[in-house]
Structure 1
Amino acid sequence: MSMLQGKVAIVTGSGRGVGRAAADMLAEHGAAVVINDLDEAPAAEAVAAIKEKGGQAISVVGSVTDPDFPKRVMQQTIQAFGRLDILVNNAGYTWDSLIHKMTDEQFQAMLDVHLIAPFRLIREAAPYMRDAAKTEMEQGQTVYRKIVNVSSVAGIMGNVGQANYASAKAGVIGLTKTIAREWGSFNINCNAVAFGLIDTRLTQSKEKGETVQGVAIGIPEKVRQMFEQSIPQRRAGTPEEAAAAIFYLASPLSNYVNGQVLNVNGGFYT
């Protein structure tokens, strides 16, 4: 069933993990997808996989925190596909520390990637979402567009060692609810997903030694195991399960859902 035939979606941080799974799901349902990643290789791989299945995709490589990125990704999207219907603000990483040891740089970095970047992207999308909708409405057309912002249970209930991340993700919720109020009359739905423990490289065992932007990522294995046991379903979610929530909020199934936070956490936070 092609619920998104003719739609165009930008998914940030979609070379891997939840973003990749979401991009694949949107493409499977007919959307043309703009893939974004920090690194060229995973972005190219994601594009190739979508095209191999008969879908449409391009990549725009770069950091969402680059002030020039929003304009560049919008321009390339319109040049390739002529419109924008879905914006998924998914890109991000963590840089943890207890608050008494946290630096200004650490705190600002999380605000930049998780809150300021989505704000800039939504603002840059205005001509292609809000203004386009105004023109359609004047012509008697009703076309729904979707913004999905990725938040976290940390943004709702806080988390030890993540004052920076939790603050940014809480801000995403405020941004989401404000956009829903400002743009709802233009048939633009803006919602957020608040993920719990999802099995990605950001939540894998820290002992694996992976980094993003030079910052070590992951969770110490003992802490991860304790976290899993605190989840009623006793496991982390899969990227595909997380992506399904994004798909729901990006699809016509959610046309009367606006300004909401969908918790996806196996019952950890209800």
Structure 2
Amino acid sequence: MKNMLENQVAIVTGSGRGVGRETALMLAEQGARVVVSDKDEAPAAEVVSEIKQKGGEAVLFCGDVTEADFAKKITETTISEFGRLDILVNNAGLTLDNMIHNMTDEQFYTILDIHLVAPFRLIREAAPYMRDAAKEEIEQGIVHHRKIINVSSVAGIRGNVGQANYASAKAGVIGLTKVVALEWGKFNINANAVAFGFIDTRLTKPKEEAEVIAGVQLGIPEKVRNMFIDKIPQKRPGDAKEAAAGILYLASPLSNYVNGQVLQINGGSYT
């Protein structure tokens, strides 16, 4: 199907790289006008440029999702540029791994802020343009589905060694998603989550090759990485496009009767 998202407007946080980048590109290919948001301007600007080169519409919004005014500012930019909001993808994320007995308060709360507090704030800020707009449409007999897709992880379902902060935040995202589905479902707003397994991104590269961000070495030790991969029935990590395809499905009309669900994208790895 082509142009499933024609005339719709989407926000995708953390869309300068990885899964977020592929999500922004896929939504644009289906006709959505996209607000590309990332903390780092250069990669996000490249995504905007690529969308425009392919004939799509996109704008850039740089910012840190943990800032108290981020949600307000990105929503205002979206409405100012495009006049509406139909799809919200809370994708921005980072890991600060440590064993629980060594984890600091800062490490714990930083990850909660990024993965749970930020999505909550953005959903709340979007209410006038999603929930309230839908109420007006319903009064006029118009049925238009809006979509909220929150990015969780299998760590939020079954836990993960060294990720007390990340697993807690991702479990919280699932709870948040289910509450939004219950509260806003009657307004034709579908709230769902994707829970990724091992996806090949900069966060899961071999530690020896991974980036350092804010003094933190990203990546996974090669030996541990191979151990994880060996447990996947498909014997490989997923790639960013495969992960983004799940988000596209939940953003599209194909999922209009899917609400409050967690779509696991994990290559069959459930243990």
Normalized against structure 1, the TM-score is what? 0.99
Write out the 4+ residue segments of structure 1 that deviate beyond 2 Å after TM superposition. 211-215
Alpha-carbon distance between aligned partners in 2 of 1:258 and 1:188, rounded to the nearest angstrom: 8
Q: What is residue 84 of structure 2 aligned with on the other side?
A: 83
DSSP 3-state at the match of 1:136: helix
CA contact (8 A) 1:77 1:84 kept: yes
Unaligned 5+ runs, structure 2 = none
Q: What is residue 23 of structure 2 aligned with on the other side?
A: 22
Are 1:128 and 2:129 an aligned pair?
yes
Alpha-carbon distance between aligned partners in 1 of 2:37 and 2:210, rounded to the nearest angstrom: 24
Q: What is residue 51 of structure 1 aligned with on the other side?
A: 52
CA contact (8 A) 1:93 1:212 kept: no
Alpha-carbon distance between aligned partners in 1 of 2:173 and 2:214, rounded to the nearest angstrom: 21
CA contact (8 A) 2:202 2:210 kept: no
Are 1:154 and 2:166 an aligned pair?
no
Deviations 1:121-152 (A, max 9, x none): 00000000000001111111111000000000
Q: What is residue 70 of structure 1 aligned with on the other side?
A: 71
CA contact (8 A) 1:27 1:56 kept: yes
CA contact (8 A) 2:150 2:193 kept: yes
Deviations 1:159-211 (A, max 9, x none): 00000000000000000000000000000000000000000001111112412
In structure 2, give the amino acid aligned to 1:256: Y
Deviations 1:210-266 (A, max 9, x none): 123432211111111110001000000010000000000000000000000000000
Q: What is residue 262 of structure 1 aligned with on the other side?
A: 263
Matches within 5 A, 1:107-186: 107-186=108-187
* Backbone CA RMSD of aligned residues: 0.8
Deviations 1:84-119 (A, max 9, x none): 000000000100000000000000011000000000
Q: What is residue 197 of structure 2 aligned with on the other side?
A: 196
In structure 1, give the amino acid aligned to 2:50: A
Please say which of residues 90-99 and 216-225 is displaced more in the overlay.
216-225
In structure 2, give the amino acid aligned to 1:128: Y
Judging changes above 3 Å, is the alpha-carbon distance between structure 1 residues 268 and 125 closer, same or farther for their aligned structure 2 residues?
Answer: same
Alpha-carbon distance between aligned partners in 2 of 1:140 and 1:213, rounded to the nearest angstrom: 51
In structure 2, give the amino acid aligned to 1:223: V
DSSP 3-state at the match of 1:54: coil
DSSP 3-state at the match of 2:62: coil
CA contact (8 A) 2:203 2:210 kept: no
Alpha-carbon distance between aligned partners in 2 of 1:57 and 1:105, rounded to the nearest angstrom: 35
Alpha-carbon distance between aligned partners in 2 of 1:25 and 1:134, rounded to the nearest angstrom: 29
In structure 1, give the amino acid aligned to 2:122: L
CA contact (8 A) 2:207 2:218 kept: yes
DSSP 3-state at the match of 2:195: strand
Q: Percent identity?
A: 70
Matches within 5 A, 1:238-253: 238-253=239-254
How many aligned positions are there? Answer: 270
